[in-house]
Structure 1
Amino acid sequence: MTTVIAFIFMFGLLVFIHEFGHLIFAKRAGMLAREFAIGFGPKIFAFTKNETVYTIRLLPIGGYVRVAGEDPEIIDLKPGHHIGLEFNDEGKVNKIIVNNKSKHPNARVIEVEHVDLDHQLIIEGYEIDEEDEKLHFDVDRHANFVMDERETQIAPYDRQFASKRPSQRAMQLFAGPMMNFLLAIVIFLILGIVQGVPTDEARLGEIQTNTPAEEAGFLANDEVIQIEGEAISTWEEFTTIVRANPGEELEMTVLRNGNTESIAVIPAEATIEGPEGEEVIGQIGVYQAFEKSFLGTVEYGFTKTYETTSLILTNLGMLITGQYSIDMLSGPVGIYDATDQVVQTGFMNFLMWTAILSINLGVINLVPLPALDGGRLLFVGVELLRGKPLEPEKEGIFHFVGFAFLMLLMIIVTWNDIQRLFL
């Protein structure tokens, strides 16, 4: 049950922060944000505030902010349509009844001849069966379509995504990944404040129980200064040698309370997934030592985010070049299983895991693929180079195909996750 709560919290936080970035910058630019959703599929919960519908949906595979004009509008009035009109106190149309007009006995029913809800905000047409006089109606900027008794606010052109400057659109698209990077920085700062930041020296922190390190007699705060007679000075040098010698005895010299001691240890064998498949490495069961420092904590927040981003980009490059197999990717099932293992190691490790996934979400969304933020940013860049945008229909098809591909990839990855868990 703890893992379920942790996963829901983590997933909700990552998606909320990402989509909140999109939402805030959409509203700052004057765009009409129709929906803020966590998850996909059927609605579980929804409420409306300040023009935006906030929803939680069933499938935990992401989220979205639906901005007017970013995708084709759901309702498109054409000449010949029969619609009902209701008016506000100023005599402007404030409700456009698309169907079920019999449920609105006070609505004025007309046959549409001309409509412009983007720029002029007008509807022209005739009374049903009375085509003698063409009627002209001004439409309120905040009027609603009513279809199947559900209201959807109209979006004048200046409230649509496409009406904004390229810089505003680019910022709105980039804001989601940006918020994920900022979240990671904040989490690393919290970790630095609570438990300190890792030291550069090869100094040992917590010694795990029932491990080669405990059996050999290592103690917390021991500083390893030599391995097999070779001087070492950094944690990276220490871990590199240990990892490279599974099952091989290593003679280590440690500095303890100002004195040196010699300790022999045999790293246990551990199997991990590497670029070329399974790889056996050595582990002795120790954590890196931590120290508390305000400036060190601030530096740690940014450098750890940068290092993690670089590592994810390297792995992504290896996936693209074929050095990693698609079988090594994980979807929601695999992430849940990994979260279960992390939760058992403690809350601090869970926070670290959350920060890493936040960075991963930010990086993946910036990949220039259709339906991702990076793909939409690519179209903004193409527009700047061409001096004009691509046709909305072509861009829509491009993103639709891309979304279908991503859903197929998600199915494949999830199936691989299930196979790894149960087969």
Structure 2
Amino acid sequence: MLLTISPFPVSHRNPHFLSSFNTPTPFLPLRSKTHLSKSHLYSNLSALPKQMLSVGLPVQEVFPGVLVPEVKTLSAASRDGLLAGDVILAVDGTELSKTGPDAVSKVVDIVKRNRKSGVLFRVERRSQDFDIRFTPDKNFYGTGKIGVQLSPNVRITKVRPRNIPETFRFAGKEFMGLSSNVLDGLKKLSGPVAIIAVGAEVARSNIDGLYQFAALLNINLAVINLLPLPALDGGTLALIVLEAVRGGRKLPVEVEQGIMSSGIVFVLFIGLFSLSRIHLALILLEKCCNYISFAKIKVF
């Protein structure tokens, strides 16, 4: 018969044996410097310096007009002579200035409204300007379409840093720009399905953009992780601050367990909410079927 484990006898009378059952073991995250150092914030942000060294800082210059990257075969645009690579400078006498995505929306709106009367484009091709009149086809919703893919007329160049300080200066500039996009886009909360879809679109369109997408995704995760929610590192920091305010006295175990449980429930609720938004977006897909949100390219 086995009577001992290590120096302690196996007996219900042994106080060490009983203490393992009498002492509650709270399932709480370890609030220590070791736990906080496990946050991947710094490793996540390392994607920015890597981008600066391997690809460079993307600099975007906007030109007048709207670019036509693709013309569908057997469409109104192909029948009337529009070619891929052309730049639309004006539509029905309306000049298209350096407005980026707004110029694309303006072209789409004018074509949709003039399905029967036709649309006059002033087009630039190989440094030559000329006019083309289109008779739009009818789309599924009864509005006009000419069968082209449009994008802002921009040119992106890559500037590589000359030294290490300039590398981190470029990375900081990119970080501030991406952080601004993150904070401005909180109202456009998306779940993992949308993240995968956007990542796949980036990989198909421009492999260099994967660096920016990785940095943007990790900044999102860092911001979310620092929120004062009990289930995240931000909640752990909040509890540490609360203990410091209380003079180093910890909260009761039951209170901490309740806080952690409520935080986990809240995070799960946010996840379900984002998934429900995706489901509703799929139901209302007909309202945005002509938009590719990440690349800001429109097809009509």
Normalising TM by the smaller chain, what interval?
Answer: 0.5 to 0.7
| Pairwise CA distance, 1:420 | 2.9
Structure 2 residue 209 is matched with structure 1 residue 290: no
| Pairwise CA distance, 1:208 | 7.4
Structure 2 residue 44 is matched with structure 1 residue 176: no
| Pairwise CA distance, 1:174 | 6.0
| Pairwise CA distance, 1:364 | 0.4
CA distance in 1, matches of 2:151, 2:178: 22
The match for 2:258 among 389, 397, 407 is 397
Counterpart of 2:100 in structure 1 is 242
Call closer, same or farther: CA 1:344–1:201 in 2, change over 3 Å: closer
Unmatched 5+ residue regions in structure 1?
Answer: 1-82, 94-107, 116-122, 126-144, 146-154, 219-227, 231-237, 252-260, 266-281, 317-323
| Pairwise CA distance, 1:189 | 2.2
In structure 2, give the amino acid aligned to 1:311.
Answer: N
The match for 1:375 among 223, 227, 235 is 235
| Pairwise CA distance, 1:349 | 1.6
1:399 partner SS = helix
CA distance in 2, matches of 1:264, 1:354: 42
Counterpart of 2:182 in structure 1 is 312
Q: Deviations over 1:7-53 (max 9, x none)?
A: xxxxxxxxxxxxxxxxxxxxxxxxxxxxxxxxxxxxxxxxxxxxxxx
| Pairwise CA distance, 1:124 | 7.6
Call closer, same or farther: CA 1:286–1:85 in 2, change over 3 Å: farther
Maintained 8 Å contact 1:334/1:414? no
CA distance in 2, matches of 1:193, 1:124: 60
Structure 2 residue 81 is matched with structure 1 residue 216: no
2:11 partner SS = strand
Which aligned segments of 4 or more residues in structure 1 are displaced greater than 6 angstroms? 261-265
Maintained 8 Å contact 2:60/2:155? no
CA distance in 1, matches of 2:251, 2:39: 23
1:246-257 alignment runs, 5 A limit: 246-247=105-106
| Pairwise CA distance, 1:355 | 1.3
Call closer, same or farther: CA 1:389–1:197 in 2, change over 3 Å: same
Counterpart of 1:86 in structure 2 is 5
Q: Deviations over 1:213-268 (max 9, x none)?
A: 920299xxxxxxxxx8x9xxxxxxx5xx23343336999xxxxxxxxx89799xxx
Maintained 8 Å contact 1:177/1:361? no
CA distance in 1, matches of 2:207, 2:54: 11
Counterpart of 2:219 in structure 1 is 359
Structure 2 residue 15 is matched with structure 1 residue 114: yes
CA distance in 2, matches of 1:372, 1:418: 26
1:72-83 alignment runs, 5 A limit: none
Q: Deviations over 1:298-330 (max 9, x none)?
A: 3221221232223323444xxxxxxx3xxx421
Q: Deviations over 1:60-108 (max 9, x none)?
A: xxxxxxxxxxxxxxxxxxxxxxx97422xxxx45xxxxxxxxxxxxxx5
| Pairwise CA distance, 1:334 | 1.7
Which is helix-richer, 1 or 2?
A: 2
State which drifts further: 304-313 or 400-409: 304-313
In structure 1, give the amino acid aligned to 2:10.
Answer: V
1:195-234 alignment runs, 5 A limit: 195-199=55-59, 209-210=69-70, 214-216=85-87
1:118-197 alignment runs, 5 A limit: 161=30, 168=33, 172-173=35-36, 175-179=38-42, 182-184=43-45, 186-197=46-57
Maintained 8 Å contact 1:366/1:373? yes
| Pairwise CA distance, 1:362 | 0.6
1:198 partner SS = strand
Call closer, same or farther: CA 1:346–1:199 in 2, change over 3 Å: closer
| Pairwise CA distance, 1:190 | 2.3
CA distance in 1, matches of 2:40, 2:53: 25
Cα RMSD after superposing both structures: 4.2
Counterpart of 1:48 in structure 2 is none
Number of matched residues? Answer: 223
In structure 1, give the amino acid aligned to 2:161.
Answer: S
Unmatched 5+ residue regions in structure 2?
Answer: 72-82, 90-94, 108-119, 132-149, 285-300
Call closer, same or farther: CA 1:336–1:198 in 2, change over 3 Å: closer
Call closer, same or farther: CA 1:359–1:413 in 2, change over 3 Å: same
Call closer, same or farther: CA 1:178–1:340 in 2, change over 3 Å: closer
The match for 1:299 among 169, 172, 176 is 169
Counterpart of 1:414 in structure 2 is 275
Higher relative contact order (CA 8 A, sep 6+): 2
1:298 partner SS = helix
Which is strand-richer, 1 or 2?
A: 1
Call closer, same or farther: CA 1:422–1:338 in 2, change over 3 Å: farther
Call closer, same or farther: CA 1:124–1:401 in 2, change over 3 Å: closer
